[in-house]
Amino acid sequence: MYEVLKRHRSFSGETIFCEHDSSATKTKMKFSAFLPREVEQIENAIIWLSGLTCTEENFITKAGAQTYLSDTSTMVICPDTSPRGLHLPGEDYSYDFGSGAGFYVNATEDPYATNYQMDDYIIKDLVSILRDGFKIKKLSIMGHSMGGHGALVLGLRNPDLFESISAFSPIVNPIACPWGQKALKGYLGENQEEWKKYDACELLNSGAKAKNKILIDQGSNDEFLKEQLLSENFKVAADNAGQVYSLNYREGFDHSYYFIASYIEDHIKFHLENF
């Protein structure tokens, strides 16, 4: 089902790096995970989705999450952000499209449609591994930037699957920002109605609702806030939709992992309370 490539004893459990065959992407895919104790004792999983240019390594090495999950029965699992090694035309030209930038959508445009099925990869393949491989009962989802977009969108599209959703510095309205427009056009084509299926604000506008409160933390000094992240648009959409949420602006914090590390304790506690 999955192969453990590396394992490191970590707190009272293990940090592991794994590889498996994905039927969604038709490639090998990698993920990391922190297992706070023996697999048999783990009941819940938080899926972490990373941002642009990240791999399965960034969160698990930089966020300091292990210390707050230690001695719980909840694991965190961190998938890579795109298929790798395909050498598709245009795949490796830019940091915000293709490799490291799958945007958690099911692509319909050639040449990406065959492999860039990141929505299915997370919701079908990775969830199957959690259910069958790790015997997980309950799931939640969180992420950062492009991965915050992924957490919001996959969470709102699958409200019964996830107990709770949270995000750091998410792209909340990709149809309205340059990163999102480039990616959605590249993966989904010209029809903007298709884009709306992967836009958190548009999902809220069309009636999607999460099971519990959505938690968002956003640095006030984030260099991408005004052009790309557009956090205030989420506020408007969630207020109109009656979606309960907390959107916390954190004074002086930027877009980096130093911000994530500073507030990951709050996010982990939030998910633990909702399991």
Which stretch in 63-71, 84-92, 94-102, 240-248 sits in contact with its own copies by CB under 8 A? 63-71
Contact string 174-203 vs its own copies (x = CB under 8 A): ------------------------------
Judged by CB under 8 A, the stretch of 8-16, 79-87, 182-190, 225-233 that binds its own copies is 8-16
Instruction: Report the residue from 54, 257, 268, 270 that binds its own copies according to the rule CB under 8 A.
Output: 257
Cβ-based nearer residue to its own copies, 70 or 94: 70
Residue with tokens 């090694």, as numbered in its chain: 85
Sheet bearing 44-49, strands edge to edge: 3-10, 13-21, 28-35, 74-79, 44-49, 138-144, 162-168, 214-219, 245-250
∠19-40-148 over CA atoms, to 5°?
Answer: 50
Looking at this protein, which amino acid is placed at residue 151?
Answer: A
Instruction: For residue 60, give the nearest of 237, 264, 271 by alpha carbon.
Output: 264
Question: Quick check: is 199 catalytic?
Answer: no
By CB under 8 A, the count of residues binding its own copies is 24
Q: Is 222 a catalytic residue?
A: yes
248 near its own copies (CB under 8 A): no
Binding status of residue 219 toward its own copies by CB under 8 A: yes
Collect all residues with Cβ–Cβ distance below 8 Å to 185 and sequence separation of at least 6: 195
Site for its own copies contains 115 (CB under 8 A)? no
Of residues 23-62, those binding its own copies (CB under 8 A):
61-62
Which amino acid is it at 256? S
Positions marked catalytic: 145, 222, 255
